[in-house]
């Protein structure tokens, strides 16, 4: 049994490296997983890479199998898809998703992996964490038939939310982003698109996911009286200023947060984390989600890739990391 692996570590803010690691022998109730792909959650991971996690959020921001502490050295990440090389008979040889950092092999409890449905390619299953966030946001939003909805911010999460909301009957959904290239992504997802200045107003509901002050301001402007903004953006150590005077009170607007760390209290009773993740994987059977994967590189290139993503030199949405066999 091969118990060697390679893992990506942030040595210091702005400097990543790949390290050799030795794995423990899997015990009863554990699985040894060989990674096939992992995904870079651009917003969160570039924030971590530059050392921008506020000290007050160090505990909240910990990934399930994180090693080290913020700001560094730290092993971080949570979008891994691999094949079980050793474990219980019902999992052996299966393709699974795990909230594990970027690493070529790893040992985790069998309960920490979720089987990827046969209808979902392994390379698309890295989006499970993102779609899970979108599922939680839709539960928090609670759209109703006839709602006029905008999703402001066409990143991975915003696009996923727009795709799910557009499947609701009788709603008007528009994806709003300052980058006109997001129109192609919206089209592939079957969603209407608009630049911020052209967006349809009088919205009952706006989901904000642009992680920018300008985006949140525009979200408030797009609301009808009594409308609600669901705030999905994570700002890290940045402060945001909003005009909560003017017509905010007279129009009785609402801003409500949504965060994937807690299952939405608006979900059906009894739904837990495992149910939410399994649902996200089932939804990924739809090929349209491939539009969210806009770049790919080898695992050994990850230190430079994350550096370029953080500097804004690589465009796109989800960046997929490819692991070699063996």
Scan for tokens 């570590």, then name that residue: 9
CA–CA dist 104, 114 (Å, integer): 18
What is residue 326's predicted lDDT score, i.e. its pLDDT? 43
pLDDT, position 325: 59
Name the CATH code of domain 4-127+284-322 (choices 2.40.40.20, 3.40.190.10, 3.90.180.10, 3.40.50.2000).
3.90.180.10
Q: Pairing state of beta strands 4-12 and 172-176?
A: unpaired
Q: What does the H/E/C string look like for 195-213?
A: CHHHCCCCEEEEEECCCCH
Which residues of the chain, if any, have pLDDT below 70?
325-326
Q: Where are the domains of the chain?
A: 4-127+284-322, 133-257
CA atoms of 81 and 95, how far apart (whole Å) = 7
Q: What is the DSSP letter of 37?
A: E
Is there a shared CATH topology between the 4-127+284-322 domain and the 133-257 domain? no
241: CB partners within 8 A, 6+ apart: 213
pTM recorded for the entire structure = 0.91
What pLDDT does residue 315 have? 81
Sheet arrangement for strand 67-68: 15-22, 4-12, 74-75, 67-68
Give the relative orientation of helices 42-49 and 156-166 as an angle to the nearest 10 degrees: 160
What is the full DSSP assignment across 76-135? ----EEEEEEES-TTTTT-EEEE---SBSEEEEEGGGEEEPPTTS-HHHHTTHHHHHHHH
Tokens matching residue 27: 């015990």
Q: What's the CA gap between 72 and 225, in Å, rounded?
A: 45
Strand partners, 296: 320
- CA–CA distance, 223 with 37 (Å, rounded to integer): 40
Q: Give residue for tokens 């911010």.
A: 153
Architecture category of domain 133-257 in CATH: 3-Layer(aba) Sandwich (3.40)
């Amino acid at each position: 049994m091969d118990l060697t692996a390679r893992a990506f570590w942030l040595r210091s803010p702005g400097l990543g490296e790949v390290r050799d690691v030795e794995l423990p022998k899997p015990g009863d109730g554990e699985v040894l997983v060989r990674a096939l792909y992992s995904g870079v959650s651009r917003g969160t991971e570039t924030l971590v890479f530059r050392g921008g996690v506020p000290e007050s959020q160090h505990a909240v921001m910990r990934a399930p199998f994180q090693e080290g502490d913020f700001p560094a050295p730290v092993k971080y990440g949570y979008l891994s898809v691999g094949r079980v090389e050793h474990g219980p008979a019902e999992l052996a040889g299966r393709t699974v998703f795990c909230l594990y950092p970027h690493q070529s092999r790893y040992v985790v409890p069998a309960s920490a992996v979720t089987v990827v449905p046969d209808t979902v390619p392994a390379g698309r299953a890295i989006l499970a964490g993102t779609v899970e966030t979108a599922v939680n946001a839709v539960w928090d939003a609670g759209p109703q038939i006839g709602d006029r909805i905008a999703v402001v911010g066409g990143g991975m999460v915003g696009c996923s939310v727009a795709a799910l909301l557009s499947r609701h009957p009788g709603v008007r959904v528009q994806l709003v982003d300052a980058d006109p290239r997001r129109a192609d992504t919206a089209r592939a997802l079957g969603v209407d698109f608009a630049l911020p200045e052209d967006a349809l107003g009088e919205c009952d509901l706006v989901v904000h996911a642009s992680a920018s002050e300008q985006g949140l301001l525009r979200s408030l402007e797009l609301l009808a009286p009594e409308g609600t903004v669901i705030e999905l953006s994570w700002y890290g150590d940045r402060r945001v200023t909003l005009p909560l005077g003017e017509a905010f009170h007279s129009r009785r607007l609402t801003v409500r947060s949504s965060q994937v760390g807690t299952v939405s209290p608006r979900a059906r009773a009894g739904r837990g984390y495992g149910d939410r993740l399994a649902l996200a994987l089932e939804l990924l059977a739809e090929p349209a989600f491939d539009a969210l994967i806009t770049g790919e590189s080898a695992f050994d290139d990850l230190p430079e890739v994350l550096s370029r993503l953080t500097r804004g030199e690589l465009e796109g949405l989800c960046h997929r990391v490819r692991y070699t066999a063996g």
